[in-house]
Amino acid sequence: MNRLKNFTPLADHVERIGMVARWRPVHLGHLPVLHALCRRAETALIGIGSANRYDLRNPFTLDETIAMIRLVLAEYHNYTLVPIPDLDDGPRWRTMIANQFGPLDLFVTENPYVAKLMADTYPVVRPVALINDDEKIPIDGAMVRRAMAQGDGWRDLVPAVVADYLTTHHLDERFRREFGLQTLALDTFVAHRRDNADEESS
């Protein structure tokens, strides 16, 4: 329960809502959340986190990420995309968000640290609070990047327009070339540590 104590109940419809995520790439788990941000607010401010990073966890550029979000939100016109750089400083990041987003009725995050950081600035809700149970899809970015590194199955994890965009621009090939081996090595390392932890606790 401690993990949820910084979250507030969700109103059905609000004037201004904001969320920051990396969206790299936009996947099927993101899709209902992005739609809900626009559907449940007059104005949605969609922050693109780590906007100043291009690395293993952020393997698509800011412009590419913007393109993916615009593709899946083609039917909406009530959102603004806000690049949010990493500062490696929580209090400074909170101040930056408050300055960039201005007044909000709700701030959306799945990250407990960010929820705690922003709790004195905005009412905070989790992304799952925005969507119906039948819209929830248990996919995360690491899962998509792992499948992309393996070269198979990733298209089933992202919206069709995103899959088309990535393949048309050969971004899936670039990802495998630049980050594929690192992604698979990290996955193996994490699995190894998890197995060791299970053995020690058994």
The pLDDT tens digits along the chain (202 residues) read 333 445 555 667 899 999 999 999 999 999 999 999 999 999 999 999 999 999 999 999 999 999 999 999 999 999 999 999 999 999 999 999 999 999 999 999 999 999 999 999 999 999 999 999 999 999 999 999 999 999 999 999 999 999 999 999 999 999 999 999 999 998 765 544 444 444 443 3
Residues 153 and 94 in one domain: no
Residue-level pLDDT at 6: 54
CATH number of residue 118's parent domain:
3.40.50.620
Residue-level pLDDT at 186: 85
Residues 145 and 192 in one domain: yes
Q: What CA–CA distance (Å, rounded) separates 37 from 50? A: 20
Is position 7 within any domain?
no
**Domains identified in the chain, total number:** 2
Examine the fold and report which residue of 135, 154, 172 is the final residue of a domain before the chain moves on. Answer: 135
Examine the fold and report which residue of 135, 151, 169 is the final residue of a domain before the chain moves on. Answer: 135
The reported pTM is 0.88
Is position 3 within any domain?
no
Examine the fold and report which residue of 111, 135, 159 is the final residue of a domain before the chain moves on. Answer: 135
Rg for the chain, CA atoms, rounded: 18
Q: What CA–CA distance (Å, rounded) separates 53 from 174? A: 16
Residues 45 and 105 in one domain: yes
* 170 within 8 A of 132, measured Cβ to Cβ: no
Whose structure tokens read 């971004």?
171
Is position 190 within any domain?
yes
Residue-level pLDDT at 163: 98
Torsion angles phi and psi, residue 135, rounded to 5: -95, -10
Residues 130 and 166 in one domain: no
Structure token digits, residue 90 = 């929580």
Residues 28 and 128 in one domain: yes
Which structural domain range is residue 75 located in?
A: 14-135
Residues 61 and 159 in one domain: no
Residues 121 and 31 in one domain: yes
Residues 154 and 130 in one domain: no
Q: What CA–CA distance (Å, rounded) separates 110 from 108? A: 7
